[in-house]
Amino acid sequence: MADRRTNLKLSPQPSLRSLEFGLATLAIHFYFVGYSITIVNVPTSLSSEADWVVGIVVGALGFAGMLTRPLVGVWVDSSARERWLKIGGVATIVAFVGYGLSLDPWVMLGFRLLHGIAMGMFTTSLLAMVASHIPARQRGLGIGMYQSGNAMATLYGSVLGVRVATEFSHEAAFFVGAAATALALMSGLRVHDLEPPESQKGVAWRERDWISRTAITPTIVFLMVTTAVGAVGAFMPLFAEERTLGNAGLYYTVWGTALLGARFLAGALGDRFGRTVVVLPSLAAQAISLLLLSQAETQLAMLISAAIGGVALAGVQVSVMSLIVDRTEPARRGAAMATYTIAWDVGAVVGGGLLGFVVEATSYSSGFSLIAMLPLLGMVIYVTRVAREDRGAAAY
């Protein structure tokens, strides 16, 4: 009787109504509340420093994540995933406490690097674990529900951080981030992996899955979108100012609201009609959004572009992640999720840098028009590679 599982303990079967699936969604929500606090408070806490110093400190998190995610994927598939979630959560709390104890940029740089590595551990292990709690027939819907947890966090996390920093201090805001991460860790520790990986003892490190073969081509498709999103994020405020389009913050409000709302629909449609039916129109919509933004002369046009872009990202993100889980065996999901999340890190770095060169030579409008070609390239890659791989696997 002591080992009997109840609804208040472990979930013996995958279910979107299980306590553990709800706790996983709550965990990712609180984790991204903490992350959202850093988006504004890290650069503003360094406002007295040179721009290049701020850039190095801010970018260190993504850089560390980009370099270490393949290793994190190997770790997550080599032993109990709960262990890596715990390590990632504790290390993130340490990073936030470090931010709060010293605003010296070079001290903060070390904690940003730690934060980037820890974020990879926490999010990759939780992604791999939550996949085991989602029934195969509802995979898209479940992933859409789970990803809505972090989307909701972005709607108020940064605002909360700014308010605390204004009323108290930046140090206090970082300690709030540590508290949010602690809540995420407490929720995440109640989630158990229903499909744990087999032991990798005796398997040479070079023979392990550093980059997931089942995830690589869908991730490249997703990279076309994240690069575009990174480019818009880097230059949207300056473009809005140049065109006198009003408060650029409204773009992100509409974009985030559309993204949150569309995730449920995108997942459900993918479950019923197939991932391709959602991915290809979403990629086309992303291109249309960017072209519309490049020609925007009014705030209304800017906000319509934001709404289309939010819906498009939701469709691609949910469907690509669902597709990767569909085609990856449970024991290798850590590597698959690590490969998938690399697209965010690379997209943020490449998008801003790529558009920066174009804007310098031409204009914001020309830059957004050029970036619109990336989702179209994603459509070509999807049709010629991803869909063909799936047909070949089905035939086999």
Domain that holds residue 390: 216-395
Angle at 157 between CA 151 and CA 163, to 5 degrees: 155
What is the predicted pLDDT for the residue at 91?
Answer: 97
Residue 231 sits in the same domain as residue 321: yes
State both tokens at 203. 């398997």
Q: Could you read off the pLDDT of 194-236 as tens digits, one per residue?
A: 877 776 665 555 656 667 888 899 999 999 999 888 888 777 7
Residue 202 sits in the same domain as residue 222: no
Burial class (CB in 10 A: 0-12, 13-18, 19+), 5: exposed
Residue 176 sits in the same domain as residue 234: no
Q: Could you read off the pLDDT of 342-393 as tens digits, one per residue?
A: 888 788 777 767 777 777 787 888 888 999 999 999 999 999 988 776 654 4
CA nearest 252: which of 30, 40, 24, 27?
40
240: left (phi over 0), alpha (psi -120 to 50) or beta: alpha
- Note whether 243 and 297 are within 8 A (CB): yes
Percent of the chain with pLDDT over 70: 91
56/32: higher pLDDT: 32
Residue 111 sits in the same domain as residue 180: yes
Structural domain includes residue 14: no
Q: Could you read off the pLDDT of 75-101 as tens digits, one per residue?
A: 888 878 899 999 999 999 999 999 999
The total domain count for the chain is 2
Structural domain includes residue 132: yes
Structural domain includes residue 5: no
CA nearest 318: which of 386, 372, 261, 264?
264
Residue 184 sits in the same domain as residue 247: no
What is the predicted pLDDT for the residue at 330?
Answer: 80
What is the predicted pLDDT for the residue at 392?
Answer: 46
- Note whether 220 and 338 are within 8 A (CB): no
Angle at 302 between CA 298 and CA 306, to 5 degrees: 165
What is the predicted pLDDT for the residue at 12?
Answer: 62
How many Å apart are CA 295 and CA 321, to the nearest integer? 32
Residue 295 sits in the same domain as residue 229: yes
The mean per-residue pLDDT over the stretch 242-271 comes to 85
Q: Which 3 state secondary structure label does DSSP give 149?
A: helix
State both tokens at 10. 């472990």
What is the predicted pLDDT for the residue at 395?
Answer: 42
Residue 37 sits in the same domain as residue 142: yes
Last residue of a domain, one of 177, 207, 237: 207
Residues belonging to the chain:
396
How many Å apart are CA 207 and CA 188, to the nearest integer? 30
Residue 347 sits in the same domain as residue 323: yes
Structural domain includes residue 10: no
Residue 309 sits in the same domain as residue 359: yes
The mean per-residue pLDDT over the stretch 305-326 comes to 92
DSSP H helices in the chain: 19-45, 51-76, 81-101, 105-131, 139-167, 170-188, 216-243, 249-273, 275-294, 299-327, 333-361, 364-371, 373-381, 387-395
Residue 42 sits in the same domain as residue 179: yes
CA nearest 304: which of 290, 317, 314?
290
Structural domain includes residue 8: no
Task: CATH number of the domain at 27, please.
Answer: 1.20.1250.20
Residue 259 sits in the same domain as residue 294: yes
CA nearest 347: which of 227, 264, 232, 234?
227
The amino acid sitting at 139 is R
CA nearest 376: which of 306, 291, 314?
291
Last residue of a domain, one of 168, 190, 207: 207
How many Å apart are CA 212 and CA 259, to the nearest integer? 27
